[in-house]
């Protein structure tokens, strides 16, 4: 693997490897249960993001995607009580 560069690794990455790396980043551990180091997490996340860009992964399926919602619309959860929406009083500031 001495000839393997990061670029070449991304180009040769299979969808199965991409899925495995994406899961490892999400769980912060390898499939065998060992925890990822901060450096491993960073490299895996970069690889996942580069793979997504080079393989035209739909935006909604990319790591870190957040759906945009309009403020105050009925479909946005406007009827959710503030404490369930994360808008409750911050007890640490008492």
pTM: 0.64
Q: If pLDDT is split at 50, 70 and 90, which confidence band does 2 have?
A: very low
pLDDT tens per residue across span 37-88: 999 999 999 999 999 988 988 888 888 778 877 665 555 555 666 666 665 5
CA geometry: angle 38, 46, 8, nearest 5 deg: 120
Strand partners, 29: 35
C-beta contacts of 82-85 below 8 A and 24+ residues apart? none
| Counts of helices then strands in the chain (DSSP H, E) | 3, 0
What is residue 64's predicted lDDT score, i.e. its pLDDT?
A: 78
What's the mean pLDDT in 23-44? 94
Q: What are phi and psi of 56, to 5 degrees?
A: 50, 45
What is residue 87's predicted lDDT score, i.e. its pLDDT?
A: 59
Q: Do residues 48 and 7 make contact, with C-beta atoms less than 8 angstroms apart? A: no
What's the mean pLDDT in 17-30? 93
């Amino acid at each position: 693997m001495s000839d393997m560069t990061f670029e070449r690794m991304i180009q040769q990455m299979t969808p199965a490897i991409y899925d495995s790396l994406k899961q490892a980043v999400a769980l912060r551990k390898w499939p065998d249960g060992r925890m990822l180091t901060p450096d491993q997490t960073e490299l895996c996340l970069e690889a996942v993001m580069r793979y997504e860009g080079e393989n035209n992964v739909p935006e909604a399926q990319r790591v870190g995607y957040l759906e945009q919602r309009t403020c105050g619309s009925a479909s946005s959860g406007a009827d959710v009580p503030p404490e369930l929406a994360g808008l409750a009083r911050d007890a640490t500031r008492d």
